[in-house]
Amino acid sequence: MSFPATGRKLLLCLWAIVAVVTPGCFGVSDAPALGLVSGTILLEGEPVSGVRVTFHPDQGRPAFGITNASGQYELTYIRETRGCKVGHCRVVLGSGEEGLDNTSAEGDGAAQFETAADEKWLPARYTTASTLEADVKPGKNVIDFNLTK
């Protein structure tokens, strides 16, 4: 099959456009490595429901979860993406899910939740001045916390 000169140029331009645009559609994701994280929060051996669990990695955005009636939680990184950034995390607990918004792709939205109100039902060592830590690894992670008053 023979193409006229303008047809060949048009075909060449079309292939060039496809070659430039396609890698952007199917390129490597810039999302960090995530590990799936779930666990149970107990206070004096009893499950605590409605606890907001926030894992703050050393760098990057935090992951959030809320405990159910059995004290179980599962972290969400962003929107429908489950998990937490792999590595060392500071863990902060809070009361309830009011205003919980983990849809932002950037920043540390958790700071707005760390208020003195949280300390009324959990000691400060678990809330704003949390000493809780966790290491998130690739794959599945079960990270439980048995807290004392």
The per-residue pLDDT for range 16-59, each reduced to its tens digit, is 565 544 444 544 467 799 999 999 999 999 999 999 999 999 99
CA dist., res. 57 & res. 109, Å (int): 13
CA dist., res. 135 & res. 87, Å (int): 5
Residue 106: pLDDT over 80: no
Give the HSE-up count for residue 120: Cα atoms under 13 Å, Cβ half-sphere. 6
Write down the pTM of the prediction. Answer: 0.69
CA dist., res. 118 & res. 147, Å (int): 15
Instruction: Write down all domains in the chain, each with its CATH number in brackets.
Output: 34-147 (2.60.40.10)
What are the structure tokens assigned to 1, written together? 């099959």
pLDDT digits (tens, 9 = 90+) for 68-84: 999 999 999 999 999 99
CA dist., res. 119 & res. 113, Å (int): 11
